Structure 1
Amino acid sequence: MYPTYGSSQKAIHWVVFLLVIGLYGLTYAEDLFPRGDPNRDLVWWFHISFGLLLFALVILRVGLRFVYGAPELPSEMRPLERWLAKIAHLLLYALLVAIPVLGILLTWFRGDALSFFGLFTIPSPFLPDRPTAGFIKELHELCANLILALAGLHAIAALWHHFVRKDDVLKRMLPRSSR
């Protein structure tokens, strides 16, 4: 086991972080334009495209985690702390998979095709279904709010480890720390 994450794992971690924040911001940008405005459609198109990118990176990140694992937690951590860290990471990964999957289903149940920056398009395999789309939208938004809260706790825990515990938990994911 390595003392720090690999450079590809770190890069994906921080890009995923930026994508989550950016996608959340795009949902508010969409509301700046009235329905039917082409700019609103453009914001939605960007949201879908970046959401698909997020999904691909999360799948890659999970694959890298299986291949390379994660650095050991500090031996000073109590069993409860270790368990909470593992549960928090599992929930983060689950939400990072669930949110794009729900977004894909939402798009399709609205009757729209998925477009990835115009490079390819996947038509909806479903007929439009407003009630189902509405339900999926609620789940998508709930999961998006949950990931912000959980990511905030994750960041607070990392900073607590760094500044209070003075261990290497945060350094394991910082770009300049090395194996």
Structure 2
Amino acid sequence: MASNNYSTSQKSLHWIIFVLVVGLYGLTFGDDIFQRGDPNRAFAWWLHISFGMLLAFLVGWRVFLRLVKGTPEFPLSMTVTERVLARAGHLVLYALLIAIPLLGIFLTWYRGDALSFFGLFTIPAPFLPDRETARSIKELHSLCANGILILASLHALAAFWHHLVRRDNVLKRMLFIWR
């Protein structure tokens, strides 16, 4: 990509996905807030699954756009080490953004539940429930969810470091700046 900025669609997806990841993480606290059998607990999980499916779709769209539109060039001021770390960080973020929804889908199915997308359609489990497998997938899903929060925080800190210390355009290329 010859431009120094991401496209409007890439910026939009970046921020929508950020909000979805934080919101989905927040919905997991329904287990702590509501007792077993409380309809609000089931509703929180229904929302978590529906928004998780939306996340899977949007991440797929984002990966497609990245492949088609590319990314802006790194600022010349970035060292080779910074460029390698930036590429590795983005690669791991994308891997987690793909893995987390997929693990959530399999977790839902191994629990014996159908996937429901906001009640518009459902996808039944293609196999029988398996509590042991579901438990293992849940642990991995949770580990990846915690990992993405940590990595996204480091990602944000790096962007602020570039903006406030290096004073380059790394952060600005992902912001909507109107003139």
Classify the TM-score, shorter chain. Answer: over 0.9
Residues 1:128 and 2:129 aligned together: yes
- The answer as to whether partners of 2:55 and 2:101 remain within 8 angstroms in 1 is yes
Task: Name the Cα RMSD after superposition.
Answer: 1.0
Residues 1:62 and 2:72 aligned together: no
CA shift, 1:38, in A, is 1.1
CA distance in 1, matches of 2:30, 2:107: 18
Q: TM-score, normalised by structure 1?
A: 0.97
Unaligned runs of 5+ in 2: none
CA shift, 1:30, in A, is 3.2
- The answer as to whether partners of 1:4 and 1:177 remain within 8 angstroms in 2 is no
Which has the higher mean CA deviation after the structures are superposed, 28-37 or 39-48? 28-37
Equivalences for 1:1-179 in 2 at 5 Å?
1-176=2-177
Which amino acid is the alignment partner of residue 23 of structure 2? G
CA shift, 1:177, in A, is 6.1
CA shift, 1:175, in A, is 1.4
SS of the aligned residue for 1:121 comes to strand
Which amino acid is the alignment partner of residue 92 of structure 2? L
Q: Which runs of 4+ in 1 moved over 4 A?
A: none
- The answer as to whether partners of 2:30 and 2:45 remain within 8 angstroms in 1 is no
Q: Relative contact order: is structure 1 or structure 2 higher (C-alpha 8 Å, sep ≥ 6)? A: 1
CA shift, 1:39, in A, is 1.0
- The answer as to whether partners of 1:4 and 1:173 remain within 8 angstroms in 2 is yes
Unaligned runs of 5+ in 1: none
Q: Structure 1, residues 120-179: CA drift from partner, whole Å, max 9, x if none?
A: 10000010100000000000000000000000000000000000000000000001269x
CA distance in 2, matches of 1:72, 1:99: 29
Q: Structure 1, residues 79-129: CA drift from partner, whole Å, max 9, x if none?
A: 111000000000000000000000000000000000000011000001010
CA distance in 2, matches of 1:51, 1:45: 10
Q: TM-score, normalised by structure 2?
A: 0.97
